[in-house]
Amino acid sequence: MDSVTLVGIDLGKHSFHLHGQDRKGLAVFRRKCNRKQLVEFFAKFHPCTAIMEACAGAHYLARKLAALGHEVKLISPQYVRPFVKGNKNDFIDAEAICEAASRPTMRFVPPKTEVQQTLSMLHRVRESLVRDRTKTANQMHGFLLEFGVALPIGFTVIKRLPALLAEHEDLPPQLVSVLERLHEHFKYLDGQIAEVEKQLSHQVHEDDLGHRLMTLPGVGPITASVLSAEMGGGHQFAASRDFAASLGLVPRQYSTGGKSTLLGISKRGDKNLRRLLVQCARAFMQRLDKYPSPLADWVRSLLTRRHSNVVACALANKLARMAWALARSHTVYDPGKLRPEPAAA
């Protein structure tokens, strides 16, 4: 057991499967344990490298094992799958995790802090509430359309639905009752979304990185908090282009025979963060006259040659690179330059 340098952990809800190997990659032990036994095992085990897939519960366990003196690395599950040999079971998965981690070019996921996980949780709750609010509004639009009432697009008319129903006295009482119930649910969801956004805004203003990210053009509290939660310090990326590529904001390649073929953006990684950055880019493009800067001049020159959708993706790529620069080198955004300048000491 003293020769073990790498321990692969196949995570589960109640049971965990361990595979330990030495420096030569030879298997030393296999063990199945529950959550309590896992912590007790690593508390008594000599310092080693623990490898897990970046899935549910991995970030908490990574912090727990790191506090016990072990080095913890997380791998994206998509990079582990090619190393699964033969039939799949939990011990083979743990062995595949070790095999993947031993590759010199393997990419790892940095464990998140409690603050980052809390911010991610709030964003997932907000996204769920927004989807429910949209679904409720669409239901009200659809039910009224079945009875010949076509409402204008948007949430504004939904908020004054009771007055609108009073104008149509020929609607069935059962329909009016259902619409009133849906309207109350819509108001509840709208209030919950406002509370979550207020909490996110409060947290991002208290966070140093989030506060600096909001200086970027078009970036508000929602996008800044997502960037702060997902990117962290940015040390997991060697360059700004790597961060933009992880979000799928770079061209997709299909090159062979020495001929380079570039297609549309790859759309890899976090689609929510990519969507937010594109929305920030569109917001900036709609207000170019209010942002007299080299960045605005660059966007104007692109708009004369490319479609606005292409320009929006290019600007989103540049915003992602700027965000990485702010996080990595502790800089502040200067509107007079395309590159951020170091923050004052």
**Do residues 55 and 48 make contact, with C-beta atoms less than 8 angstroms apart?**
no
Contact between 91 and 19 (Cβ < 8 Å):
yes
Count Cβ atoms below 10 Å from residue 21 Cβ, excluding itself: 21
Write down the CATH superfamily of domain 6-101: ATPase, nucleotide binding domain (3.30.420.40)
Q: How far apart are CA 129 and CA 82, in angstroms?
A: 37
Query: Who wins on pLDDT, 27 or 233?
Result: 27
Residue 136: per-residue pLDDT: 94
| CB-CB contact of 178 with 161 (8 Å) | no
pLDDT score recorded for residue 107 = 87
Residue pair 219/340 in contact (Cβ under 8 Å)? The answer is no
Place of tokens 């509840």: 188
> Could you tell me if 227 and 328 are in contact, meaning their C-beta atoms sit under 8 angstroms apart?
no
Q: What is the mean pLDDT of residues 26-31?
A: 89
Residue-wise pLDDT tens digits, 67-95? 999 999 999 998 999 999 888 899 999 99
Q: Is the pLDDT of residue 342 over 50?
A: no
Helix (H), strand (E) at residue 33: strand 27-34
Q: Contact at 8 Å (CB) between 90 and 199?
A: no
H helix runs in the chain, sequence order: 35-44, 58-67, 77-80, 90-101, 114-146, 156-159, 161-167, 173-206, 208-213, 221-231, 240-246, 271-286, 294-303, 308-329
Nearest CA-CA partner of 170 in 151, 188, 191, 148: 148
Judged by average pLDDT, the poorest of 40-44, 94-98, 339-343 is: 339-343
| Per-domain residue ranges of the chain | 6-101, 114-206, 214-342
- Predicted local distance difference test score (pLDDT) of residue 205: 82
pLDDT value, residue 183 = 93
In single-letter form, the type of residue at position 214 comes to M
Arithmetic mean of pLDDT, 108-119: 87
Q: What is the pLDDT of residue 277?
A: 93
